[in-house]
Copies of this chain bind each other. A is one copy, B any other.
Amino acid sequence: MTQETLEPEVSADDSYKLNNKLISSIRLAVSTADAERLADLLEPLHAADIADMLEQVDEVQRREILVLSTDIIDGEVLSELDEGLREEIIDFLPQKVLSEAVRDLESDDVVDLVEDLGEPQQEAVLEALDDADRVAVEQALSYPEESAGRLMQREFVMAPDHWNVGQAIDYMRANDDLPDQFYHMILVDPRLKPTGYVTLGKLLANRRETKLTLIAEESFRTIPVTQPEDQVAYAFNQYHLISAPVVDQDDRLVGVITIDDAMNVLDEEHEEDILRLAGVGEGRLSDKVISTTRRRFPWLAVNLLTAILASMVISQFEVAISQLVALAVLMPIVASMGGNAGTQSLTVAVRAIATRDLTGSNVWRVIRREVLVGLINGVIFAVVMGIVGVIWFGSINLGLVIAAAMVINLVVAGLAGTVIPVVLEKLKVDPALASGAFVTTVTDVVGFFAFLGLAVIVLL
């Protein structure tokens, strides 16, 4: 066996994807119960890649891998696993392996691990911790879900703000219990209120007698422990923070949030936005058929209602359709174009709301823009469809009707696609979650009504 087969293969177009060859080798080792070969294959992998691998094989193979090598599951691998799999694997692990796995994690990672587990697994993990760590985790769990308190780690490095560089360095050299990763020394006053922070780079670059306050960063933000995590992530992204001190109600330092935690939150928020816009809710590739079906059902049910509503509009024009079947042939085009244009506007609006770019002070300008865009594209496609209508069905009037309906529906799409998410946000409803159904209802109803209504007036 050469070194080469051990390393994830570097392919031209994607060097980080766990490659099929490696997974096949793992499967082969598992099916021949070759524990030694399996260990050789897994050894060079990063925890995140091991977690991904466990997600990609099926349940039976996962069991066999765990039987052959329980010791591949350390705290990091547990942290990296999808929630669904995490429960499955924790159930399967002997308590001793679990204890060792969670003991070397930072407190924020343990909280992240524990908070979505079922009662029995949560108990199992908490029991595995030292008393001091358990108290810390339980305290973190007392903060609201998705708040800064859940996100922060309690391991941080602080110093009185009257110290100088030499004192700070001596303190760190004497301290055996520094966090694995830290980027700032936080300065506090005697009441433990953070007053600034110093980057480690500055500590290293300055002379021992330099006062810490002289080299503290210019801009400095603290985060209230109850702040929702999406706002924390926004602050990290907006102000390019690397780490930020978290304070309690009395402004006392209680923890630190680092950029990797914020990056995770941002990643999850994006994921949620995309999935919600598509009517999927949460959803992971490792979810089972039944839970996936259940999750997608409500959106389809809402869509059925709106589709029936649109059909009821059509049924008002049954007489017209029976007189001129071309109407039935052409009507889905108007509705479909409106639905598409509406989705374009609403996606831009939902994103702009999420990134705080769409606010009360520019909402009218954005609405005007979307309506104008709808008007211009509406006119262009009206001309195209008008011509198609005339050629296909040989009726200039039919061409005019579909053209007029197209303009109306695309303008309405721009309007509804912007106004609906803005209004939903004002009403504290997640616009990503609910806008789609409303907007397509509007464009379907308006599309069918405008086209069939005009047809009745002009053609019959």
For window 423-460 of chain A, which residues contact chain B by CB distance below 8 Å?
A: 428, 444
- A333 contacts B318, C-beta separation under 8 Å: no
Q: Which of A219, A332, A337, A362 has the most CB of B within 10 A?
A: A332
Docked CA distance A314–B333 (Å): 11
Docked CA distance A303–B300 (Å): 22
Q: Which of A23, A277, A325, A376 has the most CB of B within 10 A?
A: A325
Docked CA distance A384–B306 (Å): 14
Docked CA distance A179–B335 (Å): 56
Docked CA distance A257–B54 (Å): 30
On whether A204 and B203 interact (CB within 8 A), knowing A277-B274, A328-B328, A356-B18, the answer reads yes
Of the stretches A87-95, A117-125, A288-296, the one at the interface is: A288-296
Counting CB contacts under 8 A, is A397 at the interface?
no
Q: Is the interface of A mostly helix, strand, loop or mixed?
A: helix
A207 contact set on B, CB distance < 8 A: 173
A366 contact set on B, CB distance < 8 A: 285
Counting CB contacts under 8 A, is A28 at the interface?
no
For window 32-62 of chain A, which residues contact chain B by CB distance below 8 Å?
A: 46, 48-49, 52, 55-58
A23 contact set on B, CB distance < 8 A: 359, 361
Docked CA distance A76–B385 (Å): 48
Q: Give the shortest distance, in Å, between A395 (CB) and chain B (any CB).
A: 14
On whether A372 and B337 interact (CB within 8 A), knowing A201-B200, A270-B270, A297-B380, the answer reads no
For window 145-169 of chain A, which residues contact chain B by CB distance below 8 Å?
A: 169
Copy tally for this chain in the complex stands at: 2
Of the stretches A67-75, A132-140, A230-238, A247-255, the one at the interface is: A230-238
A236 contact set on B, CB distance < 8 A: 263
- A308 contacts B388, C-beta separation under 8 Å: yes
- A344 contacts B307, C-beta separation under 8 Å: no
Counting CB contacts under 8 A, is A142 at the interface?
no
On whether A172 and B204 interact (CB within 8 A), knowing A271-B351, A332-B314, the answer reads yes
For window 356-384 of chain A, which residues contact chain B by CB distance below 8 Å?
A: 356-362, 365-366, 369, 372-373, 376-377, 380-381, 384
- B337 contacts A335, C-beta separation under 8 Å: no
A381 contact set on B, CB distance < 8 A: 300-301, 304
Q: Give the shortest distance, in Å, between A306 (CB) and chain B (any CB).
A: 8
- B376 contacts A337, C-beta separation under 8 Å: no
- B259 contacts A219, C-beta separation under 8 Å: no
Q: Give the shortest distance, in Å, between A434 (CB) and chain B (any CB).
A: 14
With CB as the reference atom, state the residue of chain B lying closest to A183. Answer: B183
Q: Give the shortest distance, in Å, between A6 (CB) and chain B (any CB).
A: 15
Docked CA distance A361–B204 (Å): 48
Counting CB contacts under 8 A, is A322 at the interface?
yes
Interface residues of A (CB under 8 A from B): 13-18, 20, 23-24, 46, 48-49, 52, 55-58, 169, 172-173, 175, 178-179, 181-183, 199-201, 203-207, 219, 227, 231, 234-240, 242, 259-260, 263, 266-267, 270-271, 273-275, 277-280, 283, 285, 288-290, 292-293, 296-297, 299-301, 303-304, 306-308, 310-311, 314-315, 318, 321-322, 325-333, 335-337, 340-341, 343-344, 346-348, 351-352, 356-362, 365-366, 369, 372-373, 376-377, 380-381, 384-385, 388, 428, 444
Knowing that A57-B362, A173-B207, A270-B274 are A-B contacts, what are 9 other residue pairs whose CB atoms are under 8 Å apart, sorted by A's residue number? A16-B356, A24-B361, A172-B205, A173-B206, A277-B347, A279-B344, A293-B372, A293-B373, A318-B328
Top 8 closest pairs, chain A to chain B, by CB: A278-B347, A200-B200, A328-B328, A270-B270, A307-B336, A307-B333, A23-B361, A318-B325
